Amino acid sequence: MVSRQTTDKNSIETLRRQVDHIDDAIHDLLMERCAVVERIGDLKNGANLTFLSPGREAEIIRRLLSRHLGRFPRASLVRLWRELISGMLCVQGPMSVAVYMPERGAGYLELARDHYGSSTPMTAFRSAGQVVHAVAEGNATVGVLPIPDRDDVEAWWMSLMSDTPDLPRIVSRLPFAGPGPGRGDNKDALSISRASIVATGYDRSWLALETVRDISRARLRTLLGAAGIEPVDMVATQRGDDTWLHLVEISGHVAAEDRRLNRLAEGRHTVLHARVLGGYPVPLTQEELAE
């Protein structure tokens, strides 16, 4: 007579073999995905395109979350795919990250690793300006920087105001899916890169506005609204003797040629110049990650 214990053991071994078979199938698909990504990388290199695409990455994760079923945690799914995406980026070309790290344990390195992969080469810099310089000079693919006007950091965003074509732009906000347990020190950060920015339908943009001096934030909000631009946050202001510079986070995707920017600066009586410093896919909410 076969004991229940023996039957249970046989059932467990059968299920484990099924798991091994599934793992092999996942691995086969992973290698197939890698081969396709290599072909994409070859085409991008031929067309002189940047292989990093934060908007596309966000769309992939949102699509997977929309179809996800079962008890596997949604946050773990996102973390798994972020690691997968990061590995695939390294297949397409050299990938490295410059990280603002004024002191040990400041949290930005953990944010960078969570988003760009545990095996991606990363270099820590003590100043935000060094991070911008590393990306601008092509010594790093991505730079991770503190949110402007927080922690009394330097106004690194002013370095992005030039019209130079290859200048880095803001491309992501971290963490995209919330910080991992015990990591990141509840920090937020922005990523800059020379990657192209595409609209995903869930976006925010960053504008730098040069204005006459002594303009209030309330007046600036009114001018933005009149131009059809919805401000989310007046992030920072740098006051000069003759003009002021304002960093504004706005709702939606705004391209450099957006006609609303022309309307904003029409007449040049208040807003003298308006520049897009980049944008990012909106991070996932707690509701989207809830089980």
Please compute the mean of the pLDDT values over residues 136-140 and round it to a whole number. 94
What residues form DSSP beta bridges with 275? 208
Kind and range of the H or E run holding 285: none
In this predicted model, which residue has the larger pLDDT, 243 or 266? 243
> In this predicted structure, what is the pLDDT of residue 280?
97
The answer for residues whose C-beta is within 8 angstroms of residue 54's C-beta and 6 or more apart is 171, 172, 191, 193, 195, 197, 280, 281
Number of residues in the chain: 291
Q: What is the pLDDT of residues 220-229, one digit of tens each?
A: 999 999 999 9
Q: What is the pLDDT of residues 64-82, one digit of tens each?
A: 999 999 999 999 999 999 9
Question: Is the pLDDT assigned to residue 6 strictly greater than 90?
Answer: no
In this predicted model, which residue has the larger pLDDT, 196 or 189? 189
Domain parsing of the chain, residue ranges: 203-281
Please compute the mean of the pLDDT values over residues 153-167 and round it to a whole number. 85
Q: What is the pLDDT of residues 78-95, one digit of tens each?
A: 999 999 999 999 999 889
Task: Report the predicted TM-score, pTM, of the whole model to 2 decimal places.
Answer: 0.90
> In this predicted structure, what is the pLDDT of residue 269?
78
> In this predicted structure, what is the pLDDT of residue 178?
76
Tokens read off for 197:
């920015």
Residue 117, Ramachandran bin (φ over 0: left; ψ between -120 and 50: alpha; else beta): left
- Is the Cβ–Cβ distance between 272 and 66 less than 8 Å? no
3-state secondary structure of 57: helix
**227 phi and psi angles, rounded to 5 deg:** -85, 0
Query: From 3.30.2350.10, 3.40.30.10, 2.140.10.10, 3.30.70.260, which CATH number describes the 203-281 domain?
Result: 3.30.70.260
Question: Is the pLDDT assigned to residue 30 strictly greater than 60?
Answer: yes
Residue that is written with structure tokens 């391209």 in the block: 255
